[in-house]
Amino acid sequence: MTTVTLSDPSGAAPPELPDTMQALVVLEPNRFEIQVVPVPVPGPGEVLARVRAVSICGTDVHLVRGDYPGFWPPAFPFIPGHEWAGEIVALGPGTERYGWRIGDRVAGTSHDACGVCQKCVEGRYNLCENYGVTGLHKQYGHNVSGADATYVVHGVKAVFRLPDGLSFAEGAVVDPASIALHVANRGGIRPGDAVAITGAGAIGLLAGDAARVRGAARVIVIEKTPARAAKAGQMGFETVDSSVDDPAGEVRKRTGGLGVDVVLECAGVPAAVQLALAMLRRGGRCAAVGIPTQGVDVDMQRIVLDELELVGCRATAGEMRHVMPLVEQGRIRVREVTTHQFALTDYGRALATFKDPGSGAIKIIINP
């Protein structure tokens, strides 16, 4: 054991921390194992947190599979994980100036941006113009090590106080909830709008709640997996089976032949993007958060003549603070989308469950 010597101005005695920890290490695409690795040390403006819960994101599946070679991650071996909650156990130099104390409960997000480029100054730190530049930008669990471990280091810009009313498991779903709110914000949903959502995964279902928070009069979820479609129905959303011949036609039928005002594209496959545009009424907007791993053919003629809008949504840009009270109030229902929990040592079975359409898995929590 080694004693942390970093001071805590609150007067709390620094805890004794081990020299090593367990971590999920991806050795190469589709090959990973639980290893014993050194506990990271927080630098200036950083905190070390004990991870109590971390959830599996669809991006994690792509990363483990090696779908973004040389980008996410830049190289193997690598520790993934970016949706987590826990408590602070050590402070890096100068961190106390930001009001953090040992024992604070926190939820983490992935982007730790430079804070000084034009996009950061404008509040769009998810688009940091110094993305990936060593010493200026980090995206935890993407281009630097993440939270699938017993401990994780994060910069103070990437941790947020977890309300007492939320458990660590709920806190681990706050980051995807903030992404759902971001995509609803990017969709520009107005009170009374009809909204369609492609995909009833965690982001899609939470985006349905976020659409209602922004005033949507109706939410129609497009999903082919029976268990996920059933969950959407249980949460009070209208559903359309995307495996039928003409889901866009069904949506238009339900909207008087006009289509919906806004589509939130949360599936990330080319067919879903095409479907999303086909469901829009004239002048409608599609906000896409799913990331296809291949190109998408779009009907540019209709986009121009019907003045459709297609906007991208990357992670979150300030929604973490705004989404937490909505989660605490039950208006964005993270408990409803949490279906399974596994130990970190059982990550292989957790990942297989996540990828199995018959498992009913939506959001899986890992307990390090």
Q: Report the pLDDT averaged over residues 204-230.
A: 97
Phi, psi of 232, deg, nearest 5: -60, -40
Tell me, yes or no, whether 320 lies in a domain. Answer: no
pLDDT at 10 over 60: no
**Average per-residue pLDDT for the chain:** 95
* Rg (alpha carbons) of the chain, rounded to whole number: 21
Rounded Cα distance, 61 and 355, in Å? 8
Residue 14 — pLDDT band, cuts 50, 70, 90? Answer: low
How many separate domains does the chain show?
2
Do residues 174 and 162 lie in contact, with contact meaning Cβ atoms separated by under 8 Å?
Answer: yes
Rounded Cα distance, 56 and 306, in Å? 38
Q: Report the pLDDT averaged over residues 62-73.
A: 95
Residue-wise pLDDT for 165-174, tens only, equals 999 999 999 9
Q: What is the pLDDT of residue 249?
A: 97
Tell me, yes or no, whether 24 lies in a domain. Answer: yes
CATH label of the domain that carries residue 262: 3.40.50.720
CA dihedral 96, 45, 145, 2 (to 10 degrees): -50
Model's pTM, two decimal places?
A: 0.94
Do residues 107 and 49 lie in contact, with contact meaning Cβ atoms separated by under 8 Å?
Answer: no
Q: Please, which residues bridge with residue 222 across strands?
A: 198, 240
Residue-wise pLDDT for 31-50, tens only, equals 999 999 999 999 999 999 99
pLDDT at 2 over 60: no
Q: Report the pLDDT averaged over residues 8-27.
A: 80
Range of the domain at 74: 2-172+333-367
Tell me, yes or no, whether 208 lies in a domain. Answer: yes
Which one, of 42, 174, 40, 44, lies nearest residue 106 by Cα? Answer: 174
pLDDT at 191 over 80: yes
Residue-wise pLDDT for 248-281, tens only, equals 999 999 999 999 999 999 999 999 999 999 999 9
CATH label of the domain that carries residue 346: 3.90.180.10
Do residues 89 and 73 lie in contact, with contact meaning Cβ atoms separated by under 8 Å?
Answer: no
Do residues 140 and 87 lie in contact, with contact meaning Cβ atoms separated by under 8 Å?
Answer: no
Q: What is the pLDDT of residue 13?
A: 53
